[in-house]
Chain A
């Protein structure tokens, strides 16, 4: 099998090479030779000779069909030879076509059974008036038709009064009857957010009408409506089945995106991201603890500027994702960057500026309340207050009062974004060039901030006859994230009277607690440069047969410098000034030769795609630590350090190869069937386990196209679709099958060698079986559009870092989870055009997703290392713990359910499922209003879920939320907050210590958030004309303005981390 695939792959490469030679010829050849003939008596053979001489081509034809000695009069000047040839052969009933260097002449076959009666000519234009090449004009009810040429012109012979169906991808099709007189102009309306808008799919495009799979889409317009730094944020709540969560509120923080749920708790739940055909690895580059600052992991996705993006398409089901085979299990995100469009050149300028603030603060006890709680705790425990146990009561200033959250995360941050783009082109060449700059401060009171700047260029060219096309796009983005090395949010519960400074002004260290002011002096600076480029060459070998090669190169590099001045570290740890320097980079090449062929079979059209992929990614990382600086100002420079410890550089290689093919058969836009297959090989698997087969089958039935549905006028569109298939996942670390040693530390001045992993050469591809059925309905001329999808994904042999007890020497190793995990869900989407009036428009969009994850089977679960984590029949994302039943009214001690009734509370017998981290449902509601030039849109996002919260076990030397005010104080008090206690070993203290391990540590974290509110005003056309502008729009955009939640922790989305910011911006957009 491998051999066959290899052969096929080899052929493809040869084909692509062929394509390369052809394209070279086409570029340098005689395609565009112009000829001049000025003669009243020249034989046809003479004209042919002239053409042969000038082009280097030669004619091939049967002498019977044409008398070449016949003389003609011809006067042409610098006419392209093709036009000249057509001109001389006009009315001679001879057709010609060129293949390689030969020009074939053939007698035109006149169909005798159905003689044409009329010749219809016309021009197809877009709604902006530019010609639309490639539109299909078909006589309805037949398979006969033509496509429009480069100028949008077409000519078709048809029986009288036939209905013509004119369509083009991305435009609303038109059915019309045309007369034989004159040249008609038909304008096709661009399909925006409707059934016929183009949708990007794997290695191709389709429309919502014809899709057999499940694809969600976000457009540039939706992206530009939100003042966001990370493009993934725009997807929040917008697409059913897609859950996007911020990890914290610092600029540059990672944004998590899951498509149809997390398949496993292990790493590798990320979908496959593809930018202009090139896979983009979103694994954070700063993947070691030493380089994880307050922001934690930095997603490379920050380096993608939202303003470069034209659309984001999300592939969800087997039908859509199986063409990506082994990498499609977690869904696929296809990002298309902006391209130029033919027409007038446009200069776009968009600038906004605004401010952000942390949206929530926890209500904490005041110093007075806190100290009272502390004294009560010692009294309850029967202990005397000692200096050792209570510096907060006996040593520190008891009148001091600090709200740590406000002090450390309370600053107002400023945001500025500017972007400019210039685009345009003619019908052969288009270009887009853009630049953007983004700056965001932070809420932390230190000179920190995030800056990003980037340029983007895209050029496309095709020859006039559209046979050859070349496209290139590239972008370069640099960002700089100045942040701090450790999270200061964790200080929210620092005692409110903690002194920051000694009397002499130096930092206070007279306690085991870390000093937050010191944290602000430990910097983490990260710089990322990201280059993305791709080129596509396409050649139409024969009508319907295209050869294409796409090539991509991506290069992302991150440099990090962390500085820890000695004075900012707890002296108890006898610290030294420290600089950490990390350099991480990833370079990736990809080549994908493809061929696609469209042909008509019976009354349908068959589209065949076949191709291959070869990818190589090299990741490099280097890390060094400089220790000991005589002068703290020298920090950041390794050379100034007393000692430099370098870790050996690492270089990781990943290789991937595959063959893929897809057949799509469309029977009159009524029945569509789609089959895809992919065979993948990956270097991440051990010998003999490298290859895997994946594939899917999808079918759609557009039942409104049936005759019997024609009479149902209110139902304008109806489609049933179904798909099933198998995809996989290779998001696992490299080399896990190799039993290798690597450098660890230094002993006796030599590098010691440690075993790097428990090697496993048995793990193989995981399989994710996806099944989906959906119905899509359009009512009242698609003014109301509804879709419902039900999916059921079942994954077996999930690849996980299989968790191990430390007695094995490691805490995990790469293996297949011997389990069947099922993800099922419902997805609903409803878009309505409520009011569509000349001046006033109101449209709404709703989406809702129900999600459920279930562990169906697990081989010998009870004796595995997952025995206490998983329960058959429940979600993989459950939390196990004690069941808190309240506080004993007599003793004030927390009580937990003794589930196994053995008279003791033990984790072994008394743990039960107390929470789960999967949301029950989530979605969003969008409303857009426009009245003349004024537009208003607001978008609410909601999630129903449970989350971790701040629990209250009052008494220790940490501040509590105001919930602690309702603690138990005397026998008879009925409350859910136990008595204050602070002495380990005290029975009350020991029992209360179980609270964080119980359901008291979890609560409902559902929320409804006004994610985005945007108001804009577009200046009237009359003014624009006077100012010679195409567009001028001013707007106000907000992010996270209102949050409605019952959650008592800091924020229901990020939970126990710095909450996301509330942002208000104002901006102006100009088009010249």
Chain B
């Protein structure tokens, strides 16, 4: 005890301030230090992928988009709100999804701010990481703008600016997305940073740019960018239907790395055991869209019986428990088949029907379907692409939901599918809690 007192007295010889000064805790790293090391800065960028691999952004979005569109139905009475497009502003899943995208955006902004003043990082590494952060920010905004319309455009970590942000117009958000993607295309290398395809490269940014260009009606840009990816030469020939969703499959442009080699989607969609059921079966309408002989119906859907009826469930991901080795699965973000569909539509819109049909036939051929003739009219061509996209891209990041929106056909299609449909359902409600905390956030039409 005496010894202890002695130490205390010695400490007193220093100033009082010292006595209440604490060091950075061992489990924390000052931001300055993180952006002073290539490895640490890389870990900060990897974290953005990790956020996006979360439950809400990677899978609930797929499930909810699938239900609010015409892909999924439900056997879970509490999910009927989504199937009936009766989402309340207080919906917890919508809130969490929204927040996780903004979490990713904050982290991307923090990385961009940190890298801007970084010192010990090589120019190449700095460019690559900056490109990835911009790509991921654009990726997040793409889903925000698609589901909620006008959304706050946050490009800084400064809380005094962000806490009371207002919603930016869809066009402004897209402008940010385009500029981020264009910059990412320039900054990112063509190669992947590892042997896996789990970090964005130039082609991932280009593929995303093709998709966004299509959404915005920039047909020529969409075609150009899709061609760049297709001609990159590393994603073809198309992986077989069985292997496309495996990790590092040839057709994958970008996947999300998963520690245990299985996806939440695989877990969610597959019936848990033989004889049990899945909460989110595919709609009859979608199943009817598959042409006879479409191998995707066999390979990518499964069946179960519940209450005497036959149901189909999405079966793109086969794994639902930990899998390591070659049959492990990663979550698909971007794959080459979509680029053919993007280019097909872009060509069709530019009245290059023959070119569009060529691209379509590549996908059809791969699925065991007969080639289509090149002499259809533009309208038929667009509808054919829409159907092909539906059967190819179902339950992947709500592709159907955004596709119907950009073609403007959503009201036509939905009002047939869903009695009482009204056009305000195209957008989700701005989460109530977000509006409570930011008085400048307005609500979308049709919601309280």
Contacts and interface: CB of A to CB of B under 8 A. Distances in A.
Given A655-B22, A753-B40, A803-B437, A738 B28 contact: yes
Nearest to A390: B77
Given A387-B309, A807-B162, A681 B46 contact: no
A755 B16 contact: no
A115 interface: no
B279 A572 contact: yes
A487 to B, nearest CB: 18
B28 A512 contact: no
A643 B440 CA distance: 46
Contacts of B267: 573-574
B34 A741 contact: yes
Interface string B176-217: 000000000000000000101011000000000000000000
A791 to B, nearest CB: 31
A755 B112 CA distance: 13
Interface residues of B, number: 105
Contacts of A591: 5, 8
A864 interface: yes
A907 B432 contact: yes
B15 interface: yes
Contacts of B26: 649, 651
A806 B31 contact: no
Contacts of A657: 16, 19-20
Contacts of B165: 807
A808 interface: yes
A809 B102 contact: yes
A752 B43 contact: yes
B420 interface: yes
Contacts of B86: 984-986, 989-990
Contact of B154 (A510, A808, A869): A808
Contacts of A225: none
Given A809-B157, A868-B436, A956 B103 contact: no
Q: Which secondary structure dominates where chain A touches chain B? A: mixed
Interface string B5-47: 1001100100111011111111111110010000010111011
A865 B438 contact: yes
A748 B22 contact: no
Contacts of A5: 16
Contacts of B28: 735, 738, 740-742, 756
Given A572-B279, A805-B434, A741 B31 contact: yes
B277 A752 contact: no
A907 B89 contact: yes
Nearest to A655: B20
Interface in A938-988: 956-957, 982-986
A225 to B, nearest CB: 39
B164 interface: yes
Contact of A655 (B21, B31, B199, B443): B21
B44 A752 contact: yes
B390 interface: no
Interface stretch (A7-15, A267-275, A578-586): A7-15
Interface stretch (B68-76, B128-136, B294-302, B344-352): B68-76
Contacts of B270: 574
Contact of A807 (B309, B436, B438): B438
B316 interface: no
Contact of B27 (A16, A650, A752, A907): A650
Contacts of B2: 20
Nearest to B418: A985
Contact of B16 (A2, A14, A509, A510): A2
Most B CB contacts (10 A, CB to CB) among A614, A650, A748, A808 go to A808
Contacts of B43: 750-753
B16 A512 contact: no
B75 to A, nearest CB: 5
B88 interface: yes
Contact of A510 (B24, B50, B276): B276
B22 A908 contact: no
B90 interface: yes
Nearest to B110: A755
B283 interface: no
Interface in A739-785: 739-756, 758, 760
Contact of B273 (A571, A735, A990): A571
B99 interface: yes
A506 to B, nearest CB: 10
A993 B74 CA distance: 20
B400 interface: no
Nearest to B29: A741
B40 to A, nearest CB: 6
A651 B5 contact: no
A395 B307 CA distance: 8
A512 B80 CA distance: 12
B163 A805 contact: yes
A997 to B, nearest CB: 7
B20 A690 contact: yes
Contact of A808 (B74, B80, B106): B106
Interface string A895-930: 000000000111110000000000000000000000
B434 A574 contact: no
Contacts of B73: 388
Contacts of B46: 747-748, 750, 752-753
Given A653-B25, A804-B437, A747 B102 contact: no
B135 to A, nearest CB: 15
Given A753-B43, A805-B437, A748 B198 contact: yes
Given A509-B276, A753-B34, A985-B84, A808 B163 contact: yes
Contact of B5 (A20, A810, A813, A993): A20
A744 B107 CA distance: 12
Nearest to A803: B437
B25 A652 contact: yes
A682 interface: yes
A986 B83 CA distance: 12
Contacts of A985: 80-81, 84-86, 420
Most B CB contacts (10 A, CB to CB) among A653, A681, A862, A985 go to A985
Interface in B328-383: none
A651 B12 contact: no
A863 B164 contact: yes
A984 B106 contact: no
B27 A809 contact: no
A496 to B, nearest CB: 16
Contacts of A993: 88
A690 B25 CA distance: 18
Q: What are the 4 A-B residue pairs with the smallest beta carbon separation, nearest first?
A: A809-B106, A387-B307, A571-B272, A985-B84
29 contacts: A2-B15, A9-B12, A13-B8, A387-B75, A388-B73, A388-B74, A614-B19, A642-B322, A651-B25, A652-B25, A681-B20, A683-B22, A734-B22, A740-B29, A741-B30, A744-B50, A746-B50, A747-B46, A747-B198, A747-B257, A752-B47, A758-B159, A805-B437, A807-B438, A808-B102, A904-B448, A984-B86, A986-B86, A989-B86
Interface of A: 2, 5-6, 9-10, 13-14, 16-17, 20, 386-391, 394-395, 509-510, 512, 535, 551, 570-574, 576, 591, 614, 628, 642-643, 648-657, 681-683, 690, 734-735, 738-756, 758, 760, 803-811, 813, 862-869, 904-908, 956-957, 982-986, 989-990, 993-994, 997
Given A738-B30, A742-B28, A956-B77, 18 more contacts: A2-B15, A2-B17, A388-B73, A390-B77, A512-B75, A642-B322, A653-B22, A681-B20, A738-B24, A742-B27, A760-B159, A807-B152, A811-B99, A813-B159, A864-B164, A868-B435, A908-B435, A908-B443
Interface of B: 1-2, 5, 8-9, 12, 15-17, 19-31, 34, 40, 42-44, 46-47, 49-51, 53, 73-81, 84-86, 88-90, 95, 98-99, 102-103, 105-107, 109-110, 152, 154, 157, 159, 162-165, 194, 196, 198-199, 257, 259-260, 262, 266-268, 270, 272-273, 276-279, 306-309, 320-322, 420, 431-441, 443, 448
